[in-house]
A and B are shown apart, each in its own frame.
Chain A
Amino acid sequence: MLKLEHISKTYGNKNEKAVDDVSFEVYPGEIFGFVGPNGAGKTTTIKMIVSLLAPNSGKITINGIDNQNDILAAKKQFSYVPDSPELFEKIKGIEYLKFMADVYQVPAVERQERIEKYLDIFEIKDAVNDPIGSFSHGMKQKLALVGALIHDPQVFILDEPMVGLDPKASFELKKIMRDHCDRGRSVFFSTHVLDVAEKICDRIAIIKKGKIIEVGTMAEIREKAGSQESLENIFLELTE
């Protein structure tokens, strides 16, 4: 469903690769966790997947569509929530949701049903007519999540989704992620919360200094590491 093949990216300093020959695949029905220390290249990788950055080399296909050859078709396959969702502050929540529904061409009935459902789940129904500028960080995150779920994407991509969410919203999000995958779609997310990754991910990739150092199920990672310890301990050993 999401495939990265030999992706590399450098910024200003050409000698230093932010992402270095990264390859992995996310299968249908799978929650895929992407973990790594700060500055390891997680956000850069995600930005290349969601067409916010162009890789220097390599190929990314989303639901079989090359995101460099047919950007628009690729964009229709996923939705994305960044780690710190900067939204248009002067716009009301409901206007933002209408905008998202319009750009993804969601029919009237479906948009109403989905928005009602997710506004209820994230408990922001009462605030949806307020300007986004008046929202807290967590509320912005929730609004961005509702906006991203409006078109029921094939691949749901999230960068540090648990940061800023209250425990109930985190719990609901994890449920939504699982439901999403149970319907044959995929979730790809980065996180620092290794406990969450360990519990809900079907497979995990660990990235360090731009390179994938481990990828597989928890059992496979444990086996390769030769230990039965938690992901946290394995992660600390691998990334030291």
Chain B
Amino acid sequence: MKEVVNLTKLFINESLGLSLFFYNQKFNRKEFYKQLFTLIIVPVALIPAFFMYVSLMSATYFGLTMINQTSVFLSIGYIMATVLIIVFGVMYILSEFYFSDNIEELIPLPISQRKLIVAKFLSILVFEYIFAAFIFGPILIIYGVGQGMGLLYVLLSFLVFLTIPVLPLSLMTALIMLMMQSASLKGRKDMLQIVFVFIGLVVIFGVQIWFTSQLGNGDEVDFQLLMNTMLTNNEGFLNIIGYIMPTSFLMAWTLNKITLMSFAWVGALLGITLLSGALMVAIGERVYLKSIVSGKTIKKGKQLSGAQRNKALGKKSHGAMAVFTMDLRLLLRTPVYFFNNISVVIIAPLCILLSVSFIEIPPEDLQGMQDFFRAMPLLINYLLIAFFIFFGGTSATTATTFSREGKASWLTRMIPVTARDQIVGRTGVAMLIQSLGIVFTIISIQFIFPLTLSTLLVTVILGILGSLPILLFGLFMDMNRPLLNWDNPQKAIKNNMNVVITLFVGMAYTGLLIGVCGLLGYFINPLLGYGMFMMISVAISVVFYKVINNRLEAEFLNFES
């Protein structure tokens, strides 16, 4: 037990970089303040979102009170928390169990496989409990306060809360271990991770689309109708999830009405949870380390003849092209990077396309929408521009460009490539990804109504120009504070404050730019609005370009200081 606790502490310490944090406190104050800033700013930045979430949940509860259906409230929260735990948990499980470097050091040590699995699972669980506290905690409190529940409810809800992340995570871990076993044998670990997360996203998105389609054919939807549909339709969302996830019934029976039976139901819930954990450990003991060891065999490329090697070496390319190609290859071939930087440009347009195909919009409504947008070309243009900038701003490609290289960044800093080539190559990758998103979006939108040539030209040009300052700002951030010391590529993105800062600054800038130029265009002249948009975007881009161009070589010297 002590060994498991120590291992768990070690994994948590490694995930959070606690030892380094305290070392920096004593010996590297500059780095310490950077980390401290991150620790403070992230929770603070999330406060508004949390309050919005609590308000939404309170409104949902009062909505349900009005139709006398409060009993469904806890089930909604339970299912939502479970789905979110699965969504975010998949990457954590894969990272901790399969993509963390620590396993290489631990395998030779005399630690039983069971202890290793349990400790790794517990280290994930700690973070998932914190996550669940923010998602499911408010739901338990709102319901308890609303129903005037007593101490027994507090005790029972605490026990229910304890089970929340364990069951979905155990089952997901077991499933991943089984899938990784077959994947590792074929040396296809990276590809499997991509497939796995895509399947997860498609399932979640499919459920959401299906859920929306259950509401009717484009009629005006209100909350009450949504609830009624769920409650009256036997094939409804809750029942289906309930059948897939029977524990949601146990949870509801435990907490909806406190009786002696509640203890039996919570006991059953705890029992099932423990069983799921035991099942995961039992499966893990059979397959985990075996698949890790065999997974070390990376699929090799075919041997090249002299002529093939010469062809692969090619002719002399420009420095910017070399940087561009290398950055793109790293993005495409590292699953974590692929999902964080590229998937959004595929998923967002796919959402539009699937929504259109699943939800049948009556022809008269579609005609009405088309007429409305034809009458307001300015509105549709700026909406599309905002959407296109979204691909640039959210991809975090430039905001993590040096961080993604991690310990191999010495190479980037040592080679004689001009700052201009670095900027062009790295921003070029981000723009390519953004352009893909733009193309996919335009194709998807064509299914609703064809865009005019002028709209296409204006939105594509301004969409790309408008995102350029955000991309360069991201590059500027990563140049100043790259996150290079990681043992797992997920940290280069998820633990990187540059992503959050670029996202917030980018959103604020986009909102302001579109607001000001849109108003100018609406009240004075559309061309004036577009002209102003271009001028501001170009001016800010030039400023950032010059700053980065002047500072990059010097900043490279500070990456390890």
Residues of A within 8 A of B (CB): 11-13, 47, 50-54, 71-73, 75-76, 80, 82, 86-92, 94-95, 97-108, 111-112, 115-116, 119, 125-131, 133-134
Point out the residues of chain B lying under 8 angstroms from A129, CB to CB: 300-304, 312
Q: Which residue of B lies closest to A77 (CB)?
A: B416
Please judge, given known A-B contacts A12-B27, A94-B304, whether A104 and B416 are in contact too, CB under 8 Å.
yes
**Is B406 among interface residues, defined by CB-CB distance under 8 A?**
yes
Whether, in the assembled complex, B2 has its beta carbon less than 8 Å from a beta carbon of chain A, the answer is: no
B87 within 8 A of A: no
Q: In whole angstroms, what is the CA distance A102 to B301 when docked? A: 22
* Complex CA distance for A105 and B321, rounded to whole angstroms: 12
Q: Which of B298-345 contact A (CB under 8 A)?
A: 298-304, 306, 309-310, 312-319, 321-323, 325-326, 329-330, 333-334
Query: B407 touching A86 by the CB < 8 A rule?
Result: yes
Residue of A nearest to B335 (CB): A90
Say how far B105's CB is from chain A's closest CB, in angstroms: 15
Instruction: List chain B residues, Cβ under 8 A from A73.
Output: 416
B80 within 8 A of A: no
27 contacts between A and B (CB under 8 A): A51-B414, A52-B413, A52-B556, A52-B559, A54-B557, A71-B553, A72-B416, A80-B414, A88-B408, A90-B333, A90-B334, A91-B330, A94-B304, A94-B313, A98-B317, A102-B319, A103-B319, A103-B416, A111-B313, A112-B310, A112-B313, A115-B309, A119-B309, A126-B303, A128-B309, A129-B304, A129-B312
Q: Chain A residues near B410: list those with CB within 8 A.
A: 52, 82, 86
* Contact A116 B309, CB 8 Å, known A51-B556, A52-B410, A92-B301: yes
A130 touches B322 (CB 8 A): no
**Chain A residue nearest to B417 in the complex (CB):** A103
Please give 11 more A-B residue pairs, beta carbons under 8 A apart, in addition to A103-B322, A129-B303, A131-B300. A52-B410, A73-B416, A75-B415, A86-B406, A86-B410, A88-B330, A98-B313, A98-B314, A102-B317, A112-B310, A112-B313
Q: How far is the CA of A127 from the CA of B301 in the complex (A)?
A: 8
CB atoms of B408 and A86 under 8 A apart:
yes
Please judge, given known A-B contacts A54-B557, A129-B303, A131-B298, whether A98 and B312 are in contact too, CB under 8 Å: yes
Contact B408–A54 (Cβ < 8 Å): no
Residue of A nearest to B559 (CB): A52
| Pairwise interchain contact B416-A75, C-beta atoms closer than 8 A | yes
Contact yes or no, B322 A102, CB < 8 A? yes
Give the distance in Å from the alpha carbon of A73 to the alpha carbon of B416 in the complex: 7
Name the distance in Å between B443's Cβ and chain A's nearest Cβ.
Answer: 30
Contacts of B416 in A (CB 8 A): 72-73, 75-76, 103-104
B546 part of interface (Cβ distance < 8 Å): no
How does the 8 Å CB contact mask read for B393-419 relative to A, with 1 for contact and 0 for none?
000000000000111101101111110
The complex places the Cα of A119 from the Cα of B306 at a distance, in Å, of 11
Q: B26-45 toward A: CB 8 Å interface, digit per residue (1/0)?
A: 01111100000000000000
The answer to whether A94 and B309 touch across the interface, beta carbons within 8 angstroms, is yes
Q: Cα distance A53–B561 when bound, in Å? A: 7
* B contact residues, total (Cβ < 8 Å): 55
Tell me if B65 is interfacial: C-beta within 8 Å of chain A.
Answer: no
Q: Chain B residues with Cβ under 8 A from A99's Cβ? A: 322, 325-326
Q: Which of A13, A90, A119 has the most CB of B within 10 A?
A: A90
Number of A-B contacts (CB under 8 A): 138
**Closest CB of chain A to B404's CB: distance in Å?**
10
Q: How far is the CB of B89 from chain A (nearest CB, A)?
A: 25
In the complex, A126→B300 CA distance in Å? 10
B558 at the interface (CB under 8 A from A): yes
Please tell me if the beta carbons of B560 and A53 are within 8 angstroms of each other in the complex. yes
A105 touches B316 (CB 8 A): yes
Taken together as a complex, chains A and B put the C-alpha atoms of A76 and B411 apart, in Å, by: 13
Q: A112-B310, A130-B301 are in contact. Are A91 and B560 (CB under 8 A)?
A: no
- Which residue, of B24, B298, B411, has the highest number of chain A Cβ atoms within 10 A? B411
**Shortest CB distance A82–B (Å):** 6
Task: Name the residue of chain B whose CB is nearest to the CB of A112.
Answer: B310
A106 CA to B317 CA, complexed, in Å: 9
A75 vs B304: C-alpha distance when bound (angstroms) = 31
Nearest B residue to A47, CB-CB: B560
CB-defined contacts of B24 to chain A, threshold 8 Å: 12
> Complex formed: what's the CA distance from A181 to B330 in Å?
36
- Tell me the residues in window 519-561 of chain B with beta carbons closer than 8 Å to chain A beta carbons: 553-554, 556-561
> Within 8 Å CB of B29, what residues of A?
12
Question: Are A87 and B408 within 8 A (Cβ)?
Answer: yes
Q: Which of A11, A52, A106 has the most CB of B within 10 A?
A: A52
User: Are the CB atoms of A13 and B27 closer together than 8 Å?
Assistant: yes
CA distance A130 to B321 in the complex (A): 22
In the complex the two chains form, is B557's CB within 8 Å of A52's CB? yes
From A95, which residue of chain B is reached at the shortest CB distance? Answer: B329
B418 to chain A minimum Cβ distance, whole angstroms, is 6
The residue that B298 contacts in the complex, of A75, A106, A111, A133, with Cβ under 8 A, is: A133
List of A residues within 8 angstroms of B321 by Cβ: 102
- Say how far A197's CB is from chain B's closest CB, in angstroms: 24
Q: Mark B16-31, 1 if CB is under 8 A from A, else 0.
A: 0000000010011111
Considering the complex, give the chain B residue whose CB is closest to the CB of A129.
B301
Q: How far is the CB of A79 from chain B (nearest CB, A)?
A: 8
Cβ distance B183 to chain A, nearest Cβ, rounded Å: 15
Which residues of chain A have C-beta atoms less than 8 A from B316's C-beta? 101-102, 105-108, 111
Among B298, B313, B330, B553, which residue has its beta carbon within 8 angstroms of that of A130? B298
Contact between chains at A72 and B553 (CB < 8 Å): yes
Closest to B322 in A: A102
Report the separation of the CA atoms of residues A126 and B301 in the bound assembly, to the nearest whole angstrom.
10
A115 to B31, CA, bound (A): 41
Q: In the complex, A51 Cα to B561 Cα: how many Å?
A: 12
Across the A-B interface, give the 8 residue pairs with the lowest CB-CB distance, nearest first: A12-B28, A129-B301, A102-B322, A75-B416, A134-B298, A90-B333, A54-B557, A86-B407
Question: Chain A contacts of B300 at CB under 8 A?
Answer: 127, 129-131, 134
A76 CA to B329 CA in the complex, in Å?
25
The docked-state distance in angstroms from the alpha carbon of A97 to that of B312 is: 10
Complex Cα distance, B336 from A90, in Å, reads 12
B390 vs chain A, min Cβ distance (A): 27
Q: Within 8 Å CB of A133, what residues of B? A: 298
For residue A76, which residue of chain B has the nearest CB?
B416
Residues from chain B with a CB closer than 8 A to the CB of A128 are: 304, 309
Q: Which of A13, A101, A102 has the most CB of B within 10 A?
A: A102
Chain A residues within 8 Å of B27, by CB: 11-13
- In whole angstroms, how far apart are the Cα atoms of A104 and B321 in the complex? 13
Known A90-B333, A112-B310, A130-B301; contact A50-B414, beta-carbon cutoff 8 A: yes
